[in-house]
Structure formats: structure tokens, C-alpha cells
């Protein structure tokens, strides 16, 4: 009986010490990463004991919030420019920036057969509304404008634009039928290499600047073990397998 009690006490002390070592990190996450990041965060907590508190939104808005003192400790951006800018402005830890994913752009419609596998629907113009994320705030929106420009159809389709604040709202416009089709992240409609519904054209990478998505530890995250652990975890095999499953490269 004494031995069991001693064992129980030892286990409680061990669990208590692990809990004391565990920490939390406040993470601002680009909206296009809404699908994979909760899965990564769950595995991260299971494997390390640390917890990632996630907020999703447009990279441009996060930048403004961080400049105004938002308490985020880490940023997972939808581009590589914003983390570099924060680092240069002294709002992020020098040397903490790294690429965690390279995004893929897709032209998607909830209607089967509307989007062909070459994107010719854009030239034919057989639609009334085309959704994209605000190109001034969202890198995926900027990439969409690049694609339309290279295809020579920007002027023709611009009057049909429906702009989302971020890539998540853009997906909602298309999914609810408020837009016939639109440009979103492949991760939003793909898992394990398959488009989950509707019709789609996965945009070839040469039609736009690579969507290199960088992460950076912000000044508020200095000395936070959870922030350092998450940065390391995102570079590991388990996180990368999840990232790849949602159509990203790295």
C-alpha cells in the first residue's frame, strides 16, 4: 500500500513539473492556413505539452495590429515580406524568420463542371461574379491579380470582382453562391491531393510570384519556450506531413 502511494506521489510530482514547464504561445495565423494549423497545434500540444492559442485572419491586418501593440508572440504569415518587414522594424526577433510553407493558388467553383482544368473559363467569361481576397491585404489576392494580368483578362473580369477581406471570407463567397468562382488557397478545398468538391483549376506556379509563407517570433515571444518550440516543431517531419497533405509545398 505504501509503495502504491509513493508511486502515485511520484507521478503527481512528475506531472506537476511537466505542467510547470509547459507554456502558451499566442499565434497570428494567415487565413489560408486555417485547415492545417489546428491539426498541427493539437499534435504540438500532445508532443511538447505547450499550447498554441490561434487567431486567424489577413496578414495585412495582423501587421497593422502588431504595429499597434497586439499581444501576438508569433506570426505565421501568408507571405515572406511581412515577417521581413517586422524584423527590419524591430518588432520581431532577428534570425527567427523561416519559411514554413509555399502556398498554391486555385481557381475554384462550388459548381461541378464550371471551372475547366486549364482555367479557360476566365477567357470565356461565362460567369457573373469572381471572388478574390483583397490584394492589398492578402498575398493570395495579389497572386490572383498577377494571374489575371498574365492571362490578359484583368480588364475584362475586374468589373465582376467580389473582394473578401481575407482568403477565408473569399471561400465563403464562393461556397455560398455569392460568387460563381474565385481564387483561393488550394488547402481550402484539397486534402491528400484531391479536390473535395466542385470544380477547380490548380494555377501553375509560373503564372505568379511564389507564395512563400514565412513565420517569425515577435518581440512579445522573446524568451517564451512555447514560441521557440513551435518554430522548431513547424520544421519537423510531423508538421511537414500535415502541411503537405493540404497541398502546400515547403
CA–CA distance from 235 to each of 11, 143, 222 (Å)? Answer: 32, 25, 19
**pLDDT of 141 strictly over 60:** yes
**pLDDT of 18 strictly over 80:** no
Q: Please, which pLDDT band fits residue 190 given cuts at 50, 70 and 90?
A: confident
**pLDDT of 169 strictly over 60:** yes
Q: How many CB atoms lie within 10 A of CB 117?
A: 9
The answer as to CATH 3.40.50.720 being correct for domain 2-102+211-245 is no
Indicate where the chain has its CATH 3.40.190.10 domain(s).
2-102+211-245, 105-202
Contacts of 55 (CB under 8 A, 6+ apart): 26, 27, 28, 29, 72
Listed residue (147, 128, 28, 4) closest to 77, CA to CA? 28
**pLDDT of 1 strictly over 50:** no
pLDDT at 21: 53
Mean pLDDT value of segment 176-183:
97
Fold of 105-202: D-Maltodextrin-Binding Protein; domain 2 (3.40.190)
Distance CA 74, CA 96 (A): 10
Distance CA 140, CA 167 (A): 7
Task: Locate 214 and state its grid cell.
Answer: 514565412
Pairing of strands 199-202, 161-164: unpaired
The pLDDT tens digits for 215-227 are: 999 999 999 999 9
The pLDDT tens digits for 121-137 are: 999 999 999 999 999 88
Cβ(218)–Cβ(69) under 8 Å?
no
**pLDDT of 189 strictly over 70:** yes
Amino acid at each position: 500500500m505504501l509503495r502504491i502511494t509513493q508511486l502515485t506521489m511520484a507521478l503527481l510530482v512528475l506531472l506537476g513539473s511537466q505542467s510547470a514547464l509547459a507554456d502558451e504561445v499566442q499565434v497570428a495565423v494567415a487565413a489560408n492556413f486555417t485547415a492545417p494549423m489546428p491539426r498541427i497545434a493539437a499534435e504540438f500540444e500532445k508532443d511538447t505539452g505547450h499550447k498554441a492559442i490561434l487567431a486567424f485572419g489577413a496578414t495585412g491586418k495582423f501587421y497593422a495590429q502588431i504595429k499597434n501593440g497586439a499581444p501576438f508572440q508569433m506570426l505565421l504569415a501568408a507571405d515572406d515580406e511581412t515577417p521581413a518587414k517586422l524584423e527590419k522594424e524591430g518588432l520581431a526577433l532577428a534570425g527567427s524568420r523561416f519559411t514554413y510553407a509555399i502556398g498554391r493558388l486555385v481557381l475554384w467553383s462550388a459548381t461541378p463542371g464550371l471551372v475547366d482544368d486549364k482555367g479557360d473559363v476566365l477567357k470565356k467569361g461565362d460567369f457573373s461574379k469572381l471572388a478574390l481576397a483583397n490584394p492589398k491585404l492578402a498575398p493570395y489576392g495579389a497572386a490572383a491579380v498577377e494571374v489575371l494580368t498574365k492571362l490578359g483578362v484583368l480588364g475584362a473580369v475586374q468589373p465582376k470582382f467580389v473582394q473578401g477581406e481575407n482568403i477565408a471570407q473569399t471561400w465563403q463567397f464562393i461556397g455560398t453562391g455569392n460568387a460563381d468562382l474565385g481564387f483561393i488557397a488550394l488547402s481550402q478545398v484539397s486534402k491528400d491531393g484531391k479536390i473535395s468538391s466542385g470544380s477547380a483549376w490548380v494555377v501553375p506556379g509560373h503564372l505568379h510570384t511564389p507564395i512563400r509563407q514565412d513565420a517569425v517570433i515577435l518581440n512579445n515571444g522573446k524568451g517564451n519556450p512555447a514560441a521557440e518550440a513551435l518554430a522548431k516543431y513547424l520544421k519537423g517531419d510531423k508538421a511537414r506531413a500535415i502541411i503537405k497533405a493540404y497541398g502546400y509545398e515547403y
